[in-house]
Amino acid sequence: MDELILTDAQIVTPQAVVRGTVVVRGGIIATIEDRRSTAGEAFDGDYLIPGLVELHTDNMERHFAPRPGVRWPAVSAALAHDAQIAAAGITTVFDAVSLGSMQDHDIRLDALDEMLSGSRTARDNGLFRSEHLLHLRCEVSYPQMPQMLESLIDDPRVQLVSIMDHTPGQRQFVNPEKYREYYKGKNGFNDDELDAYLDLARARGAQHSIENRRAVVAICQARRMPMASHDDGTPEHVAEALADGMVVAEFPTTVEAARLSRDGGMKVVMGGPNVIRGASHSGNVSANALAQQGLLDIVSSDYVPTSLVESAFKLACEIPGIDLPKAMAAVSQTPAEAVGLKDRGAIEVGRRADLVRVRLIDGQPVVRTVWRDGKRVA
């Protein structure tokens, strides 16, 4: 049986940081000892943390369309995405793909089949460093979304479904000026093009959102698929999410929505870029404000993979009441267990040996080595 010994490390367990040794056998954590071993790889005091678990990243899309008008070969794009994810210490990643959009010609729609095919080919041929699962983001205002969901829901890679509604004037973009600023920048719209876009988005939301939401919930409940609610901002949003059986509250936009979600048993997710920047790009509540009130359970890297490990160390350093084990759980154990993955996410005997060596250099966490199932992948 293969054995891996990592010693003289600051081991971040769920309970404490322990200077000592971790022994891995057959890809499973066999022992954790508070002493240095004479064998194995010496860390010289570097941190040993659990492999990070990412529930929601949009990072894959940028590799398939690295510039406007450019489409990259599918498997190559999937591998480039995977390399960036693994180098960030993420050993389990839920690639978030959008089913539907606020417009008909969107890279998220146009490249969907290529992204799924490239990812499947890479996985089936053992080319991935990290484990890739799928998070299906269902835009309820999009007319054909339920049919898209039906075609993908039984793919074994699908482990999470979220419900989104980007109809203007609510949830993420209550502030109309922020909405205009974001979509002008994202799509290069002029004022007339944006006005036409807004009119179409409002009409689709009014026609489809309620019916399509019901369809998603029914499909997921029939399969006991974990569900997440996206951008809840009001008590009514949260009440609807709880009634529908959501287990994760992604990016609530207000303190009130975060508190009600937590009180109802949902795990509250906020973005790593929000943590690092100290603010939401949409002008909504900051992740740090929720953390200070004890309302932050999970951090997602969202669109910057390195923000996951950086967020954990930043929270532990700057937020009273959050030590490093608690901060690390927010990027490993809590997201894993929220969606039923109880075999990973913590440095505990019997768990999968997904491990990351991190060195702090002038306060900057630097990922040095990554193991998945006890095998070095980065």
**pLDDT confidence of 61, banded at 50, 70, 90?**
confident
For 116-120, 186-190, 269-273, 374-378, which range has the lowest pLDDT when averaged over its residues?
Answer: 186-190
Residue with tokens 């303190």: 255
- Please enumerate in sequence order all residues whose Cβ is within 8 A of that of 367, keeping only pairs 6 or more positions apart, or say none: 87, 88, 89, 309, 356, 357, 358, 378
Q: Quote the pLDDT of residue 172.
A: 61
With beta carbons less than 8 A apart as the criterion, state whether 298 and 267 touch.
Answer: yes
Task: Give the Cα separation of 220 and 209 in Å (integer).
Answer: 17
Half-sphere exposure in the Cβ direction for 86 (13 Å, CA): 21
SS3 290: helix
Q: Quote the pLDDT of residue 183.
A: 63
Task: Identify any residues that bridge with 158 across adjacent strands, giving them in sequence order.
Answer: 134
Q: Is residue 92 scored above 90 in pLDDT?
A: yes
Task: Give the Cα separation of 77 and 67 in Å (integer).
Answer: 13
Residue with tokens 């890279």: 107
pTM for the model: 0.91
Task: Identify any residues that bridge with 162 across adjacent strands, giving them in sequence order.
Answer: 137, 228
Q: How many other β-carbons are positioned within 10 Å of the β-carbon of residue 41?
A: 14
**pLDDT confidence of 197, banded at 50, 70, 90?**
confident
Q: Quote the pLDDT of residue 187.
A: 64
Q: Is residue 32 scored above 80 in pLDDT?
A: yes
Task: Give the Cα separation of 8 and 319 in Å (integer).
Answer: 28
